[in-house]
Structure 1
Amino acid sequence: MNKVMLLMLAATLTACGPSQLSETVDALTANPDRIKEIQRLCKEDRAKVDDELCRRAAEAAKRRFYGDRPEQKPR
């Protein structure tokens, strides 16, 4: 009985994990429509979107805008 309860608890906790975090910055960079959708959600309904996903979308948008230019060090 205890093993069954432990298994059910583990399955429940696994299902509660964030599902959106599988979207990497590189994957978002290749999909500008998804970036716009995430940014809209971050702006309008922050409770539905994880902070990390908002950061990834912002980084992907920055990469799309600036391209592959190397960062310049301040003089």
Structure 2
Amino acid sequence: MNKSVLVVMICMLAACSKAAPTDTVDSLVAHSDRLRKVEKQCADDYAKMGAAECNAASEARRRLFMGSGPQYTPPKKPPKF
């Protein structure tokens, strides 16, 4: 009896764990209206949204702003003025 109660309690605790974020960076880039909602929710209550969701929104905004082009790398020789 004690083992079955323990197993049921463990299953209940496992079911209460926080779900994985549903929005990926690519889905947020494709749906800018959803991106704005997620960004507003992160600004209002970061602890409730969680770091994974807010980081995905941040990366999506960066990709929209910066594009997917090559990253800037400065020249090896400094410019002469």
TM category, shorter: 0.7 to 0.9
Report what 1:49 is aligned to: 49
- By percentage of residues, which structure has more helix? 1
Gaps of 5+ in 2: 76-81
Percent same amino acid among aligned pairs? 36
Distance 1:45 1:72, change over 3 A: same
C-alpha separation between the residues in 1 aligned to 2:20 and 2:34?
A: 12
Count matched residues: 75
Compare CA radii of gyration and give the structure with the larger one: 2
Deviating above 3 A after TM superposition, structure 1's stretches of 4 or more consecutive aligned residues are: none
TM-score (norm 1): 0.75
Distance 1:41 1:5, change over 3 A: same
C-alpha separation between the residues in 1 aligned to 2:26 and 2:33?
A: 14
Q: Does 1:14 align with 2:14?
A: yes
TM-score (norm 2): 0.71
Q: Is the 8 A contact 2:29 2:35 kept in 1?
A: yes
Superposed displacement of residue 2, structure 1: 4.1
3-state SS, counterpart of residue 21 of structure 2: helix
Q: Is the 8 A contact 2:46 2:54 kept in 1?
A: no
* Amino acid across the alignment from 1:23: D
